[in-house]
């Protein structure tokens, strides 16, 4: 059993809105939620948690990182969710959205509401795979030869293109680059074709968010995700893949909060 890193924002009074759990994307960790969304939702009365999947952030992993599978990440998140009491709201970003969709399908944990942020669409990552092969053919070939993803992102210009939208802050890019960890090559293949979620009818409300300038999962991918769950996507102009981190993240947080606990006149 892997002991996961869990980051938690303390609330000044007893939480009144339930638990909200954040699952990060590929190469990232709990750290990506810590500066913005964890304190924001704590201030709104939620009990917010961000976990680092095995081998990410400060979560350990014994073995070869290249052989981790999506099912291992689903096990990690499910095991943590099972320790919580009360209402659970689940938020998944990118690969974390892929994991969250599997958790919803399993129906082992009662998820009150699900938010997918720039999530891997149910049809998988083939579109961004083709875009990467087209724009960076040598790097893409090296990625498949070495089964390593970090060299693709370990460049400021490429990192900004993959992670951020119009407003690109160098300090934020450096913060992300400093904290990235290597991703599993087999998890990538799971997201490409080997372990795709199959959306099923569910009473769980789903909110699908995307950045209008997202290079990884653009408008077509985010729209496909929303269509699979029978909802309309919400896009944020000028924002990219990590829209909850970049300038204007408050708009994303407000949208999420209004979905989770609708205010009078906003439902």
Give every strand in the sheet of 88-93, ordered side by side. 5-8, 47-52, 19-23, 88-93, 113-117, 206-211, 234-236
Q: What is the mean pLDDT of each run of 10 residues along the chain (267 residues)?
A: 87 82 98 97 95 94 79 97 96 98 95 98 97 96 94 92 90 95 95 94 94 97 97 97 96 98 60
Is 234 inside any structural domain?
yes
Q: Which two tokens stand for residue 47?
A: 């009990």
Is 265 inside any structural domain?
no
Question: Which of 199, 222, 29, 21 has its CA nearest to residue 101?
Answer: 199
Tell me the CATH number at 24: 3.40.50.1820
pLDDT at residue number 264? 44
Query: Domain residues for 127?
Result: 5-260
According to DSSP, the β-strands at 88-93 and 113-117 are: parallel
Contact present, 82 and 103 (Cβ < 8 Å) = no
CA 218/CA 210 separation, integer angstroms: 7
User: Dihedrals φ, ψ of 61, to 5°?
Assistant: -155, 125
Residue 122: how many CB atoms within 10 A of its CB?
17
Number of structural domains in the chain:
1
pLDDT at residue number 116? 98
Whole-model pTM? Answer: 0.96
pLDDT at residue number 175? 96
3-state secondary structure of 114: strand
Q: Which helix (H) or strand (E) holds 19?
A: strand 19-23
- Residue in the block written with tokens 């990538």: 188
Is 48 inside any structural domain?
yes
Q: Which two tokens stand for residue 224?
A: 């496909």
């Amino acid at each position: 059993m892997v002991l996961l890193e869990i980051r938690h924002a303390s609330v000044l009074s007893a939480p009144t809105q339930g638990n909200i759990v954040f699952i990060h994307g590929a190469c990232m960790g709990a750290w990506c939620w810590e500066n913005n969304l964890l304190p924001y939702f704590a201030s709104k009365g939620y009990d917010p948690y961000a976990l680092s999947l095995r081998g990410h952030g400060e979560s350990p992993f014994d073995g070869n990182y290249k052989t981790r599978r999506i099912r291992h990440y689903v096990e990690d998140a499910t095991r943590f969710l099972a320790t919580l009491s009360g209402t659970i709201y689940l938020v998944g970003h990118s690969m974390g959205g892929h994991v969250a969709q599997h958790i919803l399908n399993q129906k082992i944990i009662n998820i009150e509401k699900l938010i997918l942020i720039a999530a891997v669409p149910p049809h998988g990552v083939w579109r961004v795979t083709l875009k990467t092969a087209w724009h960076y053919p040598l790097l893409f070939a090296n990625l498949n030869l070495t089964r390593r993803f970090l060299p693709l992102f370990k460049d400021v210009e490429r990192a900004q293109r993959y992670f951020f939208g119009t407003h690109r802050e160098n300090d934020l890019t450096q913060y992300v680059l400093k904290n990235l960890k290597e991703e599993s090559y087999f998890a990538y293949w799971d997201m490409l074709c080997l372990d795709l979620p199959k959306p099923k009818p569910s009473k769980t409300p789903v909110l699908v968010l995307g950045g209008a300038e997202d290079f990884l999962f653009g408008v077509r991918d985010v729209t496909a995700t929303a269509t699979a769950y029978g909802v309309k996507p919400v896009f944020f102009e000028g924002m990219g893949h990590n829209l909850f981190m970049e300038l204007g993240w408050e708009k994303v947080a407000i949208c999420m909060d209004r979905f989770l606990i609708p205010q009078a006149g906003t439902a």
